[in-house]
Each structure stands twice: as C-alpha cells, then as structure tokens.
Amino acid sequence: MTKERDPKPAKAPLTAREIYGNLLFTGQYVQTWYQVAGVQWPFRPHNERIDWTMGAAAQYAQLTGHRIIERTTTRPYPVRDWAEAFNARTPQPLPLPDGHDWASYLISQQNAMFDVSLAEKEVYLGVRFANRTGAAKLFDTVVKRTTSRERDRVQEGADRITQIISGGSLAARPLTGTHMQWLMHRSIGLGLPGPAGLVDGVTHWLDDDLNTFTDGVWYEDTKLGQTVKVIARRAGQEIVRHVAVLTLGKIGDALLPENGRHEWLRTLDLLPFPVERVSIMDVEPVAQTKKKYGKVLLAIRDQQRHHHVDHGLDVPDDLARKAAHARAIDAELTDGLDAERVRLVGWHRLAVSGATAEECLARVRAVRDLYQNRITVEHPKGQLALLREFIPGEPLALNAYTRRMPVMFYTAGAGCAVAQLGDQVGDRIATTCGTTTRPVMFDPWLNPERHDASGMYPVIGVQGSGKSTLLAKLALQAVRRNIRTVLLDPSVTFAGLARLPWLAPYLRVIDVRRSPAGTLNPYAVVRNPDPGQYDVEQEWRDDWKVAQAERWQLVQDIVGMLIPPEEKNRPETRRAVSLAMRAVPNSPESTLGLLVKALTELPDPQAQIIADVLRDVEDMTTEGPLFFGEPQPTDSLTNSLITVFTLAGLNLPQPGTPRENWTAAQVVAIPVVHLASYLASQTIYGGARNARKLLVLDEMHFLAQWASGKAFFARLARDTRKWNAVVLAAGQNPADALSLAVENLIGGAFIGLIDDEDTAVEALKLLQLPGGMGYEKVLTRLSPVGHRDDYREFLMLDAEKRVEKIRVTFDGDDAELLAAVNTRATGVLR
C-alpha cells in the first residue's frame, strides 16, 4: 500500500548523529538530557509552591547563554505491571464463583483502567551547551563517530550543567539509556502508542544505530495541511495517528501563586487526552536583555517624537504605557534577583493527536477552549517541520511566535507539576479528578507491612457523603484478597452485603442487640493480651497494663454514659463510682452487676442513687442485659471471613443534639456503639499476628467524645503496626481524628463532603493543609448535590502525605455492591 502511494519516499535525516549516555551530538552542537523530577502540586501550601517556583527559576537562570529544551511527554500507565504486582501481593485470593473470581476481577480492573486517560506526565530537559570543534566535525564526517577525546571534553561542560540542575527544585537526573530510548521513540513516533521492548543497558547509539528509533515510522503531510499523519508498522499492523502542532501566542498575565485557577502550563493537565509539549528557550544574559530593551525604549521615544514633533500628531496611547513598562523592566534588570532578571526567549509548541484528523482537530479546539481569554493558541502551516522540533537534537523550525518572559514567569507555569497519589501495588480504588485522571491504587496494608506506619485511616464526611459506600468497597476488596474483615454497622448499611449471593457463604451478620446477655460486658470487651503471642515478656506486660487502664477508663465512661448528666458531673458521683470500681476486680471476668453491688454496699447516699439508676437501665431497657450479663465467649464471633456486627434498631441521637434532649433509647445507644466497637476490635488480636486483618468502624464520632473512645482509637492505631491490621474509622467530625493525626497515628485519610467551612478548616488540618487557601470550598463542594449516584468524591491523604481529589466509582461487581449497601438509593435503611 505504501509503495503504491510513493515508491520513492523522501528522506529527512535526523539532526542527531550520535547519542552517548545522556549526551546527544548533532553535526554542529551537543546537548545533554535530563529528566526533571515531577513536583507534587495539588493541595500544596502556597509558600511551598512559591519556593519551588523561585528555586526552579534560579536554577534556569544559571544556564544563561544556553538553549534549553523542555520536553513534556506522557507514559501510559503500566497496567500490566500493576496487575502483576497486585497479584503478587495477593497469594491466596478468595475462591469466588465464576464471573466474580479473582482472574475475572483482575481483568475487569485492568479494562476499567484502559478506559480512562491514564498517561503519566514526564518532563525531560535538554541543554545545548557546547558547539563541536572543526576537527571533531571533520573526524565525524570521515569516521562517522565522535572521539573519546571530544566526549571527554564536552563531559566537563555537561557535568557543570548537571551540578546546576541536579538539586533544588528541578532535581534533574541525567537520562539513562532506557529513558533516552523512550524519549527518542516518543518524539519520533509522536502520538503513537508507547514502544515495547526497550533494551536495558544500551547507552551508546552511533549514526546507524539511530535507525532503531526511526525504522518503521513514517510521516505523511499535505501542503497547507492542518495535521501530519504519523504512521508506524508494528507486528504487521499499521498504526496511524493524526498529529497537529500548535504554538502558544500571546500569554496573559500570571499570578504567583495562582488562586482559583491552574497555572498556565499545568492547565494542560486538565485535558482528558495527553498533550506533548516542547519549549525551546534561550536563556538570555542580562546584559543582552538590557541592551535589547534599551533599544526598544529608544524606538518608543523615536516614535513619540516622530508623531508629536515631526508631524504635530497625537502620540498613540500605547507608546507611553510601553515606555513605562520598559522602564520598569530596566529597573528590574538592574536591581532584581536572577530569577526576576533573567529572560527566556522561546517558542512553546504543543502537539495533540487523534486516531482521525477530525478527532485531532477536535482536540485542537479543546486546547483553544482551555486557554480561552488567557493564551492565544496558533495553528501554523508547515506542520511537519514543527513536528520535528519535538525530536531531541532538532533545531528550531520556525522563529515566529517568539515569547519573551522572565524565567520566573515560565516556572510559575508549573509545567513540572504532577498529581500523584496512592501506591503502585494496591487495588484500584478510585481515579484522581482534581487535575488529571489517573488511577489511585491503595493497599492499606503497605503501611504496617513495609513502612512500619499506622494502618488507621479515618473516613470523614457528613451523612450521605459516601463514607459507607467507600468503606464497603474497601471491605469487599479486602475480602477478595481473603483478608479477615469485621465491620461494625450501627447504621445497618453493611448488612446489605448479605444481598450479594456470591459473598453470602463467607458472610456472617451478628445482630448485637439480640445477642446473649453479657455480650457487651464492658469488663469483658477489653481482653487481656495473650502472653503466647508475645516474643518479649516486657512487651506483654506493657500491653497488659494498657489493657487494665483501658478497661478501667471504659467502665468509668460506660457508667457515665448510663447516668443522667447532672448526676455524672457531681464530684460525689465520681468518688462513689471510683470507690465501687476499686472493690470489683479489674478483669474480663467481672460484671457491671458486681459494680452495682459494690455501690449499694457503700455508705454514701449518692452511691445508692447511681446504683438505682444502673439497675433501672438493666431492668427497663432492651440493651440492659447486654451490659450487665456474665461475660460471653467471643472467639467464635469472628471466625467467618467477613463478619458484620449490626446494630439494627438502634436509635442514635443526631450529632450536636444536647444530651438533655436525648430519649432513654438514645442514651443507651451510645454505650452500645462504644462496646460493640470494642467487641469488633477484638478481631485484630485473634489469629496469627502477621495475618492481614481489616476492621471497619462506623459512627466514630460517638466514641471520640469520651476519654475511653479516644484511648481506644489511639490503642487501635498503635496496634495496627504490631498486628498487621487496618482500621477504617468513619465519622462526621474531623476534629475527632485530629489528635491521632497530630501523634502521627494515621496512615492516611479520606475526607468527603463537609457542609460548613468551619468544619472544613478542621478537616484540612487532618489532611495537614493550611486553611485560608480556598481549599475549604473544595470540601464543601465534593460530590455536589444532584451528581450521578454511581460515584463519590473525597480528598485523600496518602501514606506519603500527598493530597488529591479522588472520585470513587462503582463499576462491575461494585455496582451490585452499591445497590446492596447504598442507603440513599434504597431509602429503606436508617
């Protein structure tokens, strides 16, 4: 087919002649190439963004006299690598029936990842730093290669460049052979799928070797055409992409830091398709800039005089304005910092591609729309020549559309910004939706297993923000991996999992309120640590003491919850309860009945009042016997793979309602949630210490108001490391988890919709973000009202303290899950 069209295709040799390490030799000059470290940008404090911008500007400013080429490309997300890594971390997946089995699940996850743009941005930096000598050029012409002497000579210059840009904001690394291959392939085959089978260990490409990059790639253009066809033959198949090269025209003012809009280069990340960029820029020495603008000022003066004096005409208004601008620049060039003084004279090209010319041109329109009212985007003729500018080593093809800017203006564009989140080995839980659309992988057990960090993850949001659906999704992902999971379900959400027939054999739902008396005995729910599970006796002794203190505090709080607040706050009550507690052994075998008995034996009349109130609770409430009965064996409670402790019928008060207004049923509901949480938490301490476990706790805000609740979470958070457990604790108030965050006891966090800005400030503290930067509004606009019901939005803090907005979607089996647990959709629960 190719031969029919053109039997003798024209040839356009590359300007590059040889690549040695990260050095690229052309016939005239030498470039050195680096990869710039992506800088995490979303939800970053402004002062850190400013520091990065100034730092990068100062580094570029040191490259005066050189031509720099910043080349941004994308690397498709390594879906297959992820699947292999994830599979390796799941040695024994749950044998679910066909269609829901592990293999099907892995395939569906990978397909879902292919469906969205998952390209990861990479920024490469080339510096043209040396010209080749006459002798070197002559030798090259004859022998077709560089000499070691020449390479040694230029290496010194390259080392100087490396020294400037290898640290600080840019943190650039010299390109390895593999990266150089990737860059060459991506640049020559612009818009084509990423090359497969890069060769490791190759660092030297001579003239003929460069054919490796060009073989099988063809360009096809038409006169005055708007796009270039880039064609590749791979595995006998012809792949065609239509590529359009755009160039940036007039650029509007920028702000440092930007607030409310994206930086001018980072804006490109908003596009749902990858955009390639090359910025070819000369770093101009200050003296040269000064001289140039001096001439401009003279030209302005000359025009003013020509109009006014020579011809008696009105001077055009813009001349006076431009003269003032020129004087301001002149002052800046004299007094400013290098980051402000040094100018970049450059050309900024963007390349978009599509499978058809129509798709490509639609993307061109999308780029123009994106930059509307901000930057003029031109689509010049001579597309093939412009397309070649993207190839390392190629010279500038068109010196029109030159942009002149302070180096700080360029770095304020945040072209190196990335939005990374999560790990690369966990399950796919969401996609980022702040700027880019990338999958978020999250394996909560990485923290306790690899980083010796906490496995506690608070999930905060108002009712209806999607906390429960997120928890259910994460729980189901754990179950698929055969991880023992226990869920505490006060709002009767997770009990809906029983509606999934393929999960039912592994699921046990325990209705706590209908369990035998004594199930929620406050003495028994805090178990003493088993010495058999400790290698070091001292460690066991320490934990035993912690358990004693925790039990004491819990019993004290439970009594406080059951008696009226006016009685609880009296000093006599505290003294009586304290004395009675000392009369009862602090052990899992004790009961509240013994405590009541001890109270009645005290001579204090206040003790009698408390004893009477407690007896009333035992006799007159449905839940009473649960607290007062003899301890029940709990080992068998959590022997299913997934256990749901449901609290069906529990009447929890609305958060914020004064306690005086609570009904009797609401008063006992609080200790039920407390004690059921303790009961559920016992799962962590059962089984092998290294086996992964998941504990999901909902309605955390009811616990966090009590000292015992705070101690409970602190203990859980600490124990996640020792017991390889993950705790997902959901609540409505971010302040509840703040003390844990301060003590570095959380491994990450998920914040959903918050309905008022004061609470949002607390939530930002939990995410370790400063307030007053406009992020509060982001939290109050998550999962906006009226959004489709099949996704929920959160801000996620990951183990590396990165924050980004994520969208949790429910596809495949998750759609069934959503239908099973979605309280909003069904409207029957709670």
Partner 1 sequence: MEQRRLSTDDDLRRISRVWLGPPGKTLPFAARYQAYGVFGVCLLLELMFRVSVLGQPFAISNLIKDGVPAWVITLVVMHFVDHERPIGSIPQMVLNTARAGRTRNPATRTKAVTGTLRIRHNPWRDTR
Q: How far is CA 222 from the centre of its chain?
A: 43
**One residue of 111, 133, 141, 744 binding partner 1 per CB under 8 A:** 141
**Least distance between partner 1 and beta carbon 310 (Å):** 4
Instruction: Work out which of 97, 395, 501, 516 binds partner 1, going by CB under 8 A.
Output: 395
240 binds partner 1 (CB under 8 A): no
- Asked if 194 interacts with partner 1 (CB under 8 A), we say no
Of residues 255, 688, 691, 815, which one binds partner 1 by CB under 8 A? 255
Binding test (CB under 8 A) with partner 1, winner from 37, 116, 198, 296: 296
Binding residues among 144-173 for partner 1 as defined by CB under 8 A: 144
Residue 575 is encoded by which pair of tokens? 């003294």
Which of 55, 274, 406, 748: binder of partner 1 (CB under 8 A)? 406
Residue whose CB is less far from partner 1, 215 or 630: 215
Q: Residue 597 and residue 608: Cα distance in Å, rounded?
A: 10
What are the φ/ψ torsions at residue 419 (nearest 5 degrees)? -130, 80
Our finding on whether 622 is near partner 1 (CB under 8 A) is no
285 binds partner 1 (CB under 8 A): no
For partner 1, the closer CB: 210 or 580: 210
* CA quadruple 305, 308, 314, 317: dihedral, nearest 10: 20
Any contact of residue 725 with partner 1 (CB under 8 A)?
Answer: no
Mention every residue, 6+ apart, whose C-beta is less than 8 A from residue 294.
330
Stretch that binds partner 1, among 165-173, 211-219, 726-734, 739-747 (CB under 8 A): 211-219
SS3 524: coil
Considering only residues 37, 79, 112, 217, which one is a binding residue for partner 1 as defined by CB under 8 A? 217
Nearer to partner 1, 158 or 228 (CB): 228
What does residue 179 show for φ and ψ, rounded to 5 degrees? -65, -35
Instruction: State the DSSP H helix or E strand holding residue 125, giving kind and residue range, or none if neither.
Output: strand 120-131
Among 202, 239, 405, 579, binds partner 1 (CB under 8 A): 405
Residue with tokens 């000499």: 147
Interacting residues with partner 1 between 48 and 107 (CB under 8 A): 67
Stretch touching partner 1 by CB under 8 A, among 115-123, 300-308, 676-684, 751-759: 300-308
Exactly one of 194, 257, 464, 687 binds partner 1 (CB under 8 A); that residue is 257
For partner 1, the binding residue among 62, 87, 214, 651 (CB under 8 A) is 214
**Which CB atom, from 335 or from 537, has the smaller least distance to partner 1?**
335
Find the shortest distance in angstroms from Cβ 384 to partner 1. Answer: 6
By CB under 8 A, the residues from 760 to 819 that bind partner 1 are 772-773
Complex with partner 1: residue 250 or 541, whichever CB lies closer: 250
Q: Which residue has the tokens 């027939």?
A: 501
Spatial contact of 420 and 432, defined as CB atoms under 8 Å apart: no
210 binds partner 1, rule: CB under 8 A: yes
Q: How far is the CB of 186 from partner 1 (least distance, A)?
A: 14
As measured in angstroms, the least distance from the Cβ of 711 to partner 1 is 38
The residues facing 346 across adjacent strands are 281, 403
Among 239, 319, 711, 738, binds partner 1 (CB under 8 A): 319
Of residues 353-382, which lie at the interface with partner 1 (CB under 8 A)? Answer: 378, 380-382
The answer to whether residue 293 forms part of the interface with partner 1 (CB under 8 A) is: yes
Least distance (Å) between residue 723 CB and partner 1:
43
Name the one range near partner 1 by CB under 8 A: 9-17, 555-563, 634-642, 812-820.
9-17
Smallest Cα–Cα separation from 764: which of 504, 473, 460?
A: 460
Of the candidate residues 218, 502, 540, 544, the single one contacting partner 1 (CB under 8 A): 218
Listed residue (409, 389, 391) closest to 399, CA to CA: 389
How big is the site for partner 1, counted in residues (CB under 8 A)? 93
CA 605 to chain centre: 59
Could you write out the three-class secondary structure of 338-371?
Answer: HHHHCEEEEEEEEEEEECCHHHHHHHHHHHHHHC
Selected from 225, 285, 336, 812, the binder of partner 1 by CB under 8 A is 225
Q: Which of 98, 115, 152, 208 binds partner 1 (CB under 8 A)?
A: 208
For the beta sheet containing 484-489, the strands, ordered from the edge strand earlier in sequence to the opposite edge, are 439-442, 427-432, 803-809, 791-797, 749-751, 456-460, 725-731, 693-697, 484-489, 642-646, 507-511
Least separation in angstroms between CB 89 and partner 1: 42
The distance of closest approach from Cβ of residue 765 to partner 1 in the complex, given in angstroms and rounded to an integer, is 18
Counting contacts by CB under 8 A, is residue 635 touching partner 1? Answer: no
Q: Which is nearer to partner 1, 371 or 442 (CB)?
A: 371
Task: Verify binding: residue 259, partner 1, rule CB under 8 A.
Answer: yes
Minimum CB distance to partner 1, residue 255 (Å): 5
**Does the protein bind partner 1 through residue 9 (CB under 8 A)?**
yes
Non-local (6+) Cβ contacts of 203 within 8 A are: 20, 21, 176, 177, 180
Helix (H, G, I), strand (E, B) or coil at 618: helix
Cβ–Cβ contacts within 10 Å for residue 773, how many? 17
Is there a contact between 679 and 634 (Cβ–Cβ < 8 Å)?
yes
Instruction: Report d(CA 647, CA 512) in Å as an integer.
Output: 6
Give 24 or 716: the residue with its C-beta nearer to partner 1.
24
Q: Which of 150, 282, 719, 813 binds partner 1 (CB under 8 A)?
A: 282
The DSSP bridge partners found for residue 349 are 247, 278
Angle 767-412-396 from CA coordinates, rounded to 5° = 135
Tell me which residue of 145, 86, 735 sits closest to 442, measured CA to CA: 86
List 153, 325, 615, 689, residue binding partner 1 (CB under 8 A): 325
CB 304 within 8 A of CB 315: yes
Q: Is the dihedral of CA 371, 376, 381, 387 positive or negative?
A: negative
692 backbone φψ class: left, alpha, beta (φ>0; ψ -120 to 50): beta
- For partner 1, the binding residues in 656-685 under the rule CB under 8 A are none
* Residue closest to 266 by CA, chosen among 371, 346, 391, 185: 371
> Does residue 433 touch partner 1 according to CB under 8 A?
no
Cβ-contact 154, 49 below 8 angstroms: no
- Is residue 137 a contact residue for partner 1 (CB under 8 A)? no
Interior/surface letters 152-164, b for 16+ CB within 10 angstroms, e for the rest: ebbbebbeebbeb
| Cis geometry, peptide bond prior to residue 633 (ω within 30 degrees of 0) | no
Q: What are phi and psi of 190, to 5 degrees?
A: -60, 125
Nearer to partner 1 among residue 152 and residue 310 (C-beta): 310
Residues 516-575 that bind partner 1 (CB under 8 A): none
How far are the Cα atoms of 304, 606, 623 from residue 593, in angstroms, in the given order? Answer: 100, 18, 14
Q: How far is the CB of 757 from partner 1 (least distance, A)?
A: 17
Tell me: does residue 233 bind partner 1 (CB under 8 A): no
> Of the two residues 184 and 555, which places its CB atom closer to partner 1 in the complex?
184
CB closer to partner 1 out of 303 and 424:
303
The correct pick among 62, 87, 226, 402 for binding partner 1 (CB under 8 A) is 402
Tokens of 40: 């995490």
Selected from 94, 329, 598, 764, the binder of partner 1 by CB under 8 A is 329
Q: Locate 48 and state its tokens.
A: 């850190």
